[in-house]
Structures are given as C-alpha cells and as structure tokens.
C-alpha cells in the first residue's frame, strides 16, 4: 500500500497542503491588487477572491468540522461560499470577505488543520479518514480551483500578471506523429478504480468493460490540423456538426477557438495577456465539445468514448491490469506536461516517455481531452462523501473530459480521473484527440 505508515502520510499531507497554498497565493494575492481580485472578468467565473475564501471554507468544513469534530469558525459566511447557493455570475454582488480578510481566514483555518492533524485517526473503518481520503480531497479541491483561477487569468484583460516560467519548451520535440493512430484490439479492460486511496466517488468502483477494436490518435489534434479544418470551411458546413452544435455555431458567431484572432493573414492568440502567433505544433486549446465533434467528423473520425480513452491510457495487455498513469503506477515529472510548469501545452512529439502500453502519447497533461461520453456513474456507483461533488451532475447535460492539462497539478490527475463540463464551454484548457472504428471512414 502506498501509505502504509500513517505518520509519513501525515507528513506528506502537511507538505502538500503547503504546496497548494503557495500555488493559490501565487495566483491571487501575490500577483494582483485588490481591485483585480474582487473584479469579475467574465460571468462564467467567480471573482478570484471568492475562489480563495471558498477553498478555505471547504477546508474548514471537511477537515475541521467533519474530520476533527470542531465547531464552525464563522457559520455566517458558509452560505456565501456554497457553490450551490450562488451561481458564479451572482458572486460579485455578495458581501464577500476582502482579499485581506480572506487571506487571514484561510490562514487561520490552515493552522488549526495542521494543529489537529496528528490527533485525527486515519481509521481504516472510517472511509472519510481511511488512507487520509478527506485530506486528499481537500488538497485536490484547492488544486482544481487553482486551475479554475488560471482560466480566470486567461480571460482577464489588462496587463499580464503571470509569467511563463520558461520560454523554451521543456523537451525538444521528437518524431512528429500528428496524423498517426494505433489499433487497440478488441477485449476487456479494467475501468475505474477501487483501491486508489484518493480517487473520487465517480472513479469507483473498478469494473470490466469489453470494447470492440478501435483506432485512437497517438497525439492530440494540433493547431495546424485545426487551422486546416477552419480553412476548409469546416465552420460553414452543417454536415460536420451535431444539430445542437450547429445551433451553437449560429447563435454564438464563433468561427475559431476562443482567444484566436486573424491578424495580417495569420492566426494569433491571446494568452495570459500577451498576443502571439498560434504555434502550429501544439495541441489546439480552448475548443468546445461541439467544435471537437465537428472537427472529428470532418476528419473522417469521431471522438473516443470515455472507455476508449481510458483503455488506451491505462490498460497493459501484457500484465492484464490497468495502470495509474499511462507509463506506470508512479508519477514522474519528466513524463507529462502537468503542474503549471509552463503556461501552455507542449509540442507534438514531446514526452514520448509518457506513452501508454499501446504507445499513445500525451494522454495526461497538455490539454483536457473531450470524449463523446455523457457524465454518468459507473455500475455500482455510490455517492461519497457528498452528492454535490459529482452525482448531481450525472445525466445528458455534461460531457466527460479526460487527462488533465498543463495547468493540472499531478496530485489532482490520474488515468481514472474524470472531469466534466457543458458542451459549449471553451474557457477551460480543453482540446481533444480522435478515434475511429475499423472499416469506417478515414
């Protein structure tokens, strides 16, 4: 078991709580003034100061009240930071804590959490604390909000607040394989997990899924390929579009990915407050499900189902078991573009060492990948520890995304992790790869 020793696990938890908090401050009070933290840059997003206090309020709720049995510190603010009470568009009108108050509040919560950590028993009979589950849930929650805050930064106008820490790609791109696909032979695989201690309810339980043979792209679809779709009139031909997607295309007026503009005969994109030529070899980013679906049909392909994505990412046909990551069970920094080390996806051909058993590349990191699947619970699903994490979103309204992006922290991603969003959303760091049924099209 990865966390056999409770003291070592608690040390890791304390470290990871510190890592994620540094990240949260690095996206808020360290880099932006009060006005920028309280402003709403888009009705799709919360003011950054809401996210900041919300992660602390969530931490108070789960780690102080639930895990440690303490009384509410400030019961009067719970309602303000309950995501289900107030939609994002409404949040700037609430009497929110100021940036200074939020910083103080979440800092106080944090010191109480660290003070109580040693006295909370990680009882294997209590699913909330067994394996440190609820602490893992809180760390992952803050990382997810940090990625949401990065999307807010991307939408923000005004002078740049974030610097790309590296101008150069982390790895020199290797062999280009933008057009390549691999055949995944027919057969069963293990989908989801029952033994990953920090996995969410929607990743559980592990179950066997038997898939017919399919092809899947080795790499995500690049900007160059997506530009070919645009230039072939892809946005103007209803044959490629889902009927609801065609309606979205008509009513939104969109004819290119979010943040793209045509300038002097070339495509440029705005990225964290700067404008740059669209890099042809990076995965296309900021496309909605309808655009991904239309591109795939134009290319003579289709989006992979969620199960097809996961089998290509996790299944090892030699050992007949699913891996935690495409390359194995242990996270290794050099194998994927995760964790906000750059503020953009990597070039096609990078991270070849992160390939799955089938040779499929860059499944984790770079861009979230749209799948064709609606978000549902697996057979035997049981909501835990609260139905508002995932169960209330099950149904036909949301499409599943897999794999995480360059902005996703490694603690908040694994081959079984499931994300979801509306098919019209493009402010997230979303791209896609294609799949194909043998004998059909292409």
Please, which of residues 230-269 interact with ligand AVJ by CB under 6 A? none
Residues in contact with 180: Cβ distance below 8 Å, sequence separation at least 6, in sequence order:
217, 218, 219
Nearer to ligand AVJ, 150 or 216 (CB): 150
Residue span 147-166 as binding mask against ligand AVJ, x where in contact by CB under 6 A, dash where not: -x------------------
Nearer to ligand AVJ, 351 or 398 (CB): 398
Q: Give min distance, CB of 417 to ligand AVJ, in A.
A: 9
Q: Give min distance, CB of 249 to ligand AVJ, in A.
A: 24
Q: Give min distance, CB of 80 to ligand AVJ, in A.
A: 15
Please, which of residues 414-433 interact with ligand AVJ by CB under 6 A? 419-420
Q: Give min distance, CB of 202 to ligand AVJ, in A.
A: 9
Six-digit token string for 224: 């160059």
Q: Give min distance, CB of 389 to ligand AVJ, in A.
A: 6
Nearer to ligand AVJ, 62 or 248 (CB): 62
- R_g of the chain computed on alpha carbons: 22
Q: Give min distance, CB of 374 to ligand AVJ, in A.
A: 14
Residue span 369-408 as binding mask against ligand AVJ, x where in contact by CB under 6 A, dash where not: --------------------x-------------------
Number of residues that bind ligand AVJ (CB under 6 A): 7
Nearer to ligand AVJ, 61 or 97 (CB): 61
Nearer to ligand AVJ, 351 or 420 (CB): 420
Nearer to ligand AVJ, 272 or 389 (CB): 389
Nearer to ligand AVJ, 51 or 181 (CB): 51
Q: Give min distance, CB of 390 to ligand AVJ, in A.
A: 7
Nearer to ligand AVJ, 225 or 419 (CB): 419
How many CA atoms, within 13 angstroms, populate the side-chain half-sphere of residue 80? 22
Find the residue with minimal CB distance to ligand AVJ: 144
Q: How far apart are the first and last CA of the chain?
A: 45
Q: Give min distance, CB of 394 to ligand AVJ, in A.
A: 12
Nearer to ligand AVJ, 372 or 419 (CB): 419
Nearer to ligand AVJ, 248 or 429 (CB): 429
How many CA atoms, within 13 angstroms, populate the side-chain half-sphere of residue 310? 30
Q: Give min distance, CB of 148 to ligand AVJ, in A.
A: 5
Question: How are beta strands 368-375 and 430-431 bridged, if at all?
Answer: parallel
Rounded distance between C-alpha atoms, residue 147 and residue 51, angstroms: 11
Query: What is the three-state SS of the chain?
Result: CCCCCHHHHHHHHHHHHHHHHHHHHHCCCCCCCHHHHHCCCCCCCCCHHHHHHHHHHHHHHHHHHHHCCCCCCCHHHCHHHCCCCCCHHHHHHCCCCCHHHHHHHHHHHHHHHHHHHCCCCCCCCCCCCHHHHHHHHHHHHHHHHHHHHHHHHHHCCCCCCCCCCCCCCCCCCCCCCCCCEEEECCEEEEECCCCCCCCCHHHCCCEEEEECCEEEECCCCEHHHHHHHHHCCHHHCHHHCCHHHHHHHHHHCCCCCCCEEEECCEEEEEECCEEEECCCCCECCCCCHHHHHHHHHHCCCECCCHHHHHHHHHEECCCCEECCECCECCCCHHHCECCCCCCCCCCCCCCHHHCCCCCCCCCCECCEEEEEEEECCCCCCCCCCCCCCCHHHCEEEEEEEECCCCCCCHHHCCCCCCEEECCCCCCCCEECCCEECCCCCC
Q: Give min distance, CB of 199 to ligand AVJ, in A.
A: 13
Please, which of residues 120-149 interact with ligand AVJ by CB under 6 A? 141, 144-145, 148
Nearer to ligand AVJ, 246 or 389 (CB): 389
Q: Give min distance, CB of 336 to ligand AVJ, in A.
A: 19
Q: Which residue ranges make up the site for ligand AVJ (CB under 6 A)?
A: 141, 144-145, 148, 389, 419-420
């Amino acid at each position: 078991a990865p966390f056999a020793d409770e003291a070592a696990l608690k040390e890791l938890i304390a470290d990871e709580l510190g890592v994620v908090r540094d990240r949260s401050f690095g996206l808020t009070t360290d880099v932006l003034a009060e006005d920028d933290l309280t402003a709403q840059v888009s009705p799709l997003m919360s003011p950054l100061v809401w996210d900041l206090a919300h992660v602390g309020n969530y931490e108070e709720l789960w780690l102080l009240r639930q895990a440690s049995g303490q009384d509410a510190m400030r019961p009067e603010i719970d309602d303000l930071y309950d995501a289900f009470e107030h939609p994002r568009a409404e949040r700037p009108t609430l009497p929110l804590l100021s940036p200074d108050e939020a910083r103080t509040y979440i800092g106080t919560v944090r010191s109480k959490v660290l003070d109580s950590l040693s006295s909370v028993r990680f009882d294997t009979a209590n699913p909330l604390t067994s394996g440190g589950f609820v602490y893992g849930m809180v760390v992952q929650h803050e990382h997810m909000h940090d990625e949401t805050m990065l999307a807010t930064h991307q939408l923000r106008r005004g002078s740049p607040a974030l610097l790309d820490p590296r101008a150069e790609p982390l790895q020199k791109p290797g062999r280009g394989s933008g057009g390549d696909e691999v055949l995944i032979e027919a057969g069963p695989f293990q989908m989801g997990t029952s033994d990953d201690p920090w996995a969410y309810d929607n990743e559980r339980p592990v179950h066997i899924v038997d898939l017919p043979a399919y092809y899947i792209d080795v790499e995500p679809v690049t900007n160059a390929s997506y530009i070919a779709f645009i230039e072939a009139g892809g946005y103007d031909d209803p044959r490629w579009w889902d009927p609801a997607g065609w309606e979205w295309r008509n009513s939104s007026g969109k004819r290119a990915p979010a943040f793209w503009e045509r300038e002097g005969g070339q495509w440029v994109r705005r990225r964290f407050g700067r404008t740059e030529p669209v890099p042809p070899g990076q995965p296309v980013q900021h496309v909605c499900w309808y655009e991904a679906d239309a591109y795939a049909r134009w290319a003579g392909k289709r989006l992979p189902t969620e199960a097809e994505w996961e089998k290509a990412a996790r299944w090892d046909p030699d050992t007949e078991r699913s891996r935690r990551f495409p390359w194995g069970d242990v996270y290794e920094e050099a194998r994927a573009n995760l964790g906000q080390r750059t503020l953009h996806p990597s070039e096609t051909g990078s991270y070849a060492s992160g390939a799955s058993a089938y040779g499929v590349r860059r499944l984790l990191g770079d861009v979230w990948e749209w799948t064709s699947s609606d978000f549902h619970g697996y057979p035997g699903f049981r909501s835990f520890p609260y139905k508002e994490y995932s169960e209330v979103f099950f149904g036909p309204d949301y499409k599943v995304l897999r794999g995480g992006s360059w902005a996703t922290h490694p603690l908040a991603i694994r081959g079984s992790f499931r994300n979801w969003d509306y098919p019209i959303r493009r402010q997230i760091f979303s791209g896609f790869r294609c799949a194909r049924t043998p004998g059909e099209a292409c």
